[in-house]
Amino acid sequence: MQKVIGEFEIDIILNDGLNDLWEQTKDFAGITQDYFYEYFSQKQEGYAIKIKNVQRYLQPLCLKDEYNVSPPQSFLYV
């Protein structure tokens, strides 16, 4: 469908060791601790993006109709 359902601002980008990063993000990351450590396996540190001012649109925007652009095929629902 290639529609945008909302927007947000980036608050801060976190960069830390894995244990500290997990402690900072575990309450809102939306993933399990096991998945977190599997994702960052063989890494010493990781990054996370903290967001703010989340707005969900009442009606999704079609990028093609609104801006005459199409997202890449790898576009994901975030």
Q: What is the 3-state secondary structure (H, E, C) of the chain?
A: CCEEEEEEEEEEEEEEEHHHHHHHHCCCCCCCHHHHHHHCCCCCEEEEEEEEEEEEEEEEEEHHHHHCCCCCCCCCCC
Supply the pTM of this predicted model.
Answer: 0.73
Give the residue with greater pLDDT, 77 vs 4: 4
Specify the number of domains making up the chain.
Answer: 1
For residue 30, give its domain range: 3-67
Is 28 inside any structural domain? Answer: yes
Is 72 inside any structural domain? Answer: no
On the question of pLDDT at 20 being above 60, the answer is: yes
Is 77 inside any structural domain? Answer: no
**Percent of the chain scored above 90 by pLDDT?**
71
On the question of pLDDT at 62 being above 60, the answer is: yes
Chain mean pLDDT for the chain: 90
Mean predicted confidence (pLDDT) in 55-72: 85
Is 76 inside any structural domain? Answer: no
Please tell me the predicted confidence (pLDDT) of residue 14: 98
